[in-house]
Structure 1
Amino acid sequence: MGLPPFNVSGSPFSVVPIHNYPELMKKTCELINSEWPRSETARMRSLEASCDTLPCSLVLTTDGMNRVIAHCKLSQIPSKKMACFIESVVVDKSCRGQGFGKLIMKFAEDYCRIVLDLKAIYLSTIDQDGFYERIGYEYCAPISMYGPRHCELPSLENAKKKYMKKVL
C-alpha cells in the first residue's frame, strides 16, 4: 500500500508515490524533461513502471496536488538486496533553494526504511555532493546498478560522478 501522502501538519505540500496518483504523470514528465530532455513516451513508460516496491517514483506536490514541484526515482540494485539507488532527483527551477529537495529526500528515506525495509540508499552526483553531505550522505566507492561486476571498470574511476551512501 505504501505510505499515505506525507504532509507536514498544516503544510500545503504532499509527497506521494506517482503510481497512486497517475493524474500527476504528465506534469512530472514535463518537470523531468525540463532538466533532462527525453521523449515523452520513454519518460511516461518509466513513470508508469512505478510501484510500491522498486522502481518507485515519488513526487512533491502542492496546490491541492495540482502542481508538481519535485520528483525522485528509487531503483533496485541487484547486488544489494537491502539497498536502493536514487536514480534522479529534480526540483522545479522556480522552486530551488527553498528546502524542497531536502523534503523529497527525507520522504524517500522514510519510504525506503518504513515501506521497503531497506538499510541503505546510494546515489551518484556530479555537482550536488555538498547538498547530499548536508543531509547525511557520505562518499563511497562506485556502485553498479546492473548487478555484480567481476572486474574493475576504469571508466568509473575517471568519471566526474561522485558516489554517495546513507545508512538508514
Structure 2
Amino acid sequence: MDPFTKFRKFATYTRTENRTKVDRWKQKGLPPYNVSGSPFNAVPIHHYPELLGPCCKLINSEWPRSDAARMRSLEASCDTLPVSLVLTIDNMQTVIAHCKLSPIPHMKKCCFVESVVVERSYRGKGLGKMMMMCCEDYCRVVLDLNTIYLSTIDQVGFYEKIGYEQCPPVDMYGPRNCPLPSLQNSRKTFMKKEL
C-alpha cells in the first residue's frame, strides 16, 4: 500500500470511527496526524518550533517576503486560530507543505485557508490534496468548525475537484464603518466547503 493511501485510510478512520482517540490527542496537546507507519505527519507548527525556519523558507519560495515578517506570522500560530499546519516527512525533519487557517471575525464556526503551498519537488503527487484533507479534518475535529473559505487566482480546478464551490467574497476583517473596495476587477476567486 502506497504511503498516501495508508495515510488517507488512517485519516478517514480517525474522522469517522475514532473521535475519542482524537479527543485524547487534543487533550494531551498532540497533533492529530502523527501516524506510525506513515512517512507523513501533519502538525500544527507552534508545537514544533524547530520547523519554523524550514516552513518560512518554503512559503517564501512561493511568495517572497522578509524572513522577519514571515516568522512573525508563523509564530502567531496557536491552539485556536490562527494556526499554521505543516506536512512533514523524514521523521518530521522536512517540511513539504503548509497551510494557514485564519479566523473570520463575524463567522465564528468558519475559517479562511491561506498560504497553501507544496514544495516544488513534491508537486503532482497528491500532497496538496493531502494537505487540504488534513486541514479539513483539523478544522472539523480539533477546532469544531463547519465551513472553510479560501481564495485562489489559478487553482480553481484543483479546489473544485476536492469539493469546494465558488462563493461571494468573504470579508476577513469584520464590521467596518467604510465601504469595502470593489472586487469586480479582482483576479481572485472565492470558494467555500461545508464540512
Misfit runs of 4+, over 2 Å: 1-5, 7-10, 148-155
Cα distance, 1:151–1:52 mapped onto 2, change above 3 Å: same
**Offset, 1:151:** 7.2
Residue type at the aligned position of 1:119: N
Q: Equivalences for 1:16-165 in 2 at 5 Å?
A: 16-148=43-175, 153=180, 155-165=182-192
Residue type at the aligned position of 1:156: L
> Does the CA-based 8 Å contact 2:32-2:138 persist in structure 1?
no
- Cα deviation 1:117-160 (Å, max 9, x = unaligned): 11100000000010000000000000111113677645312211
> Does the CA-based 8 Å contact 2:111-2:147 persist in structure 1?
yes
Residue type at the aligned position of 1:103: M
- Cα deviation 1:25-75 (Å, max 9, x = unaligned): 000000000000001011111111101100000000001111110000000
| TM-score normalised per structure 1 | 0.94
**Larger relative helix fraction:** 2
2:181 & 2:81 partners in 1: Cα distance?
29
Residue type at the aligned position of 1:35: E
1:156 partner SS: coil
| TM-score normalised per structure 2 | 0.81
**Offset, 1:4:** 2.4
2:69 & 2:89 partners in 1: Cα distance?
25
RMSD over equivalenced CA pairs, Å:
1.6
Cα distance, 1:45–1:110 mapped onto 2, change above 3 Å: same
Unmatched runs of 5 consecutive residues or more in structure 1: none
Unmatched runs of 5 consecutive residues or more in structure 2: 1-25
1:106 & 1:98 partners in 2: Cα distance?
14
